[in-house]
A and B are shown apart, each in its own frame.
Chain A
Amino acid sequence: MKHVIALNINGDTYEVLVSPNKTILEVLRDQLGLMGTKRGCDLGVCGTCTVLMDGEPYLSCLTLAMDAVGREILTIEGLSQEGDFDPLQRAFIEKGAVQCGFCTPGMILTAKAILDEEGKPTEESIKKKMAGNLCRCTGYKKIVEAVLSVATQTEREE
């Protein structure tokens, strides 16, 4: 039996008709056309489907859509403000941290969760927490550099 549920995604409310076995990943991509969130392994190993739920990194392939009711979901589409890139997105471009780009949305959202949680994370902490996001182009060094640059940037602004 399908249910009508309201999801809060990137600040907007979407009413969708879902069967209880649908994951948020499926709803985002197949029903709402928000293709920024990628499907990789679909088993919670690769991290590319990461979205933020109430600021926490969640694997959207392992989260049922019905379970997300009442929570704030942030996808890569909701990160840029008024057409301007988020500092993390800009850093990824400037540092050359994007190769094929498939892992990038998950990487950026996980990085955002780390920065929001820790403020000024160390390189070690970034590496440990981003270990659940796989990059098959193996561009990890640039990715860590990009996240670190934002971490130190916020320090300067303060």
Chain B
Amino acid sequence: MEPKSIQEASSILLDDPKAKILAGGTDLLVNMKHRVEVPSVIVNIKRISHLDFIEKKNGAIGIGALTSLKSIYTNPLIGKNLRALTLAASSVGSYHHQSMGTIGGNICQQNRCKYFNQSHWWRSSRPLCFKAGGEICHVVNKKGICYSSYSGDVAPVLLALNAKVILETKTATREIPLESLFSGDGKVPLNLQGGEILREITIPQEASDGFSTYVKIANRESIDFPIVSIALWASMKRKEVRVSFTAVDRRPVRAKGVEDFLGGKELNEETLEEAVGLSSQEATPVKTSLYSPSYKRKVMGLLLKSALKEAMRRAGR
């Protein structure tokens, strides 16, 4: 189906809860080919106009959900003010995925797991996992719970920038912090109410007043999901640091413990080491990929260290 407005798309979703939204297609179509998503109807929202834009409004930056990742990292406004977002958008998949993929789709991507993102044939050697419609989560061997990891590149950056999202239905619009969009439930990773569609992402003005970076560790540099990634925003003036990680939990996580510890403190070797020690407590990685939870925890610390050092170097200049 090709609705012309969000309202129309929203009522299709309300009528048919098994309908799925299609934007760039680089996540949904792969999952459909793997038969892990079997929507009754595909709602192509790309025919809806006014969803592809990057604009400044009262200092804040608004980004339409259908803006391609490529237009994000080639945009001078974002390049100048939000370096981490440029880095994250240009690290998604390959050049093709960046041209096809949208920021809304990247945020709303399915969680990933080595038992889920596999072909039907591969998965046929064991019972369906809970996320794919079975009973047991093979990662933890428990019933009725899913531990798949959220592995998006863009969401952690937007979390660290304190971004908000505007969700729209047929009748209502609400703006919520991006953080509360993520449910922490591997089976249904997003807190969307019936018929809700992500329309816009807004990044507050203060985000442009700090240093931000995104560091990704992945198997292949060219085209891969992160093993672990960190997004960091720091303002030396306000003595505030905001940190988030991706691919270590069922949602992208804000490292609140690290942030509270560093808040109001001078960044130096000592505080840095202590913060690094705290970082591994911020998430509960499980073995959803080939990499062990202990390795992921170690990498979280190392990433925080390098990101903080980079922030200190920039501030020193």
Contact = CB atoms under 8 A, between A and B. Distances in A.
A17 interface: no
Nearest to A67: B44
Contact of A66 (B29, B44, B99): B44
A43 B33 CA distance: 8
Given A64-B44, A131-B221, 13 more contacts: A44-B30, A44-B97, A47-B96, A50-B96, A58-B96, A58-B100, A59-B26, A59-B100, A62-B30, A62-B100, A67-B25, A113-B99, A132-B223
A43 B30 contact: yes
Nearest to B221: A131
Nearest to A45: B223
Contacts, number: 69
B223 A131 contact: yes
List of 9 A-B pairs having minimum Cβ-Cβ separation, nearest first: A132-B94, A131-B222, A129-B95, A56-B99, A62-B29, A57-B96, A59-B96, A62-B25, A132-B223
Interface string B201-229: 00000000000000000000111000000
B110 to A, nearest CB: 14
Interface of B: 2, 22, 25-26, 29-30, 33, 42, 44, 46, 70, 93-97, 99-100, 221-223
Interface of A is mostly: mixed
A130 interface: yes
A43 B44 CA distance: 19
Contact of B26 (A42, A56, A62, A64): A62
Interface residues of A, number: 26
Contact of B94 (A56, A63, A114, A131): A131
A79 to B, nearest CB: 17
Contacts of A42: 33
A89 B95 CA distance: 21
29 contacts: A42-B33, A43-B33, A44-B26, A44-B93, A45-B223, A47-B96, A56-B99, A57-B96, A58-B96, A58-B99, A59-B26, A59-B97, A62-B25, A63-B25, A64-B29, A64-B42, A64-B44, A66-B2, A66-B44, A67-B44, A67-B46, A110-B95, A110-B96, A128-B95, A129-B94, A130-B95, A131-B221, A132-B93, A132-B222
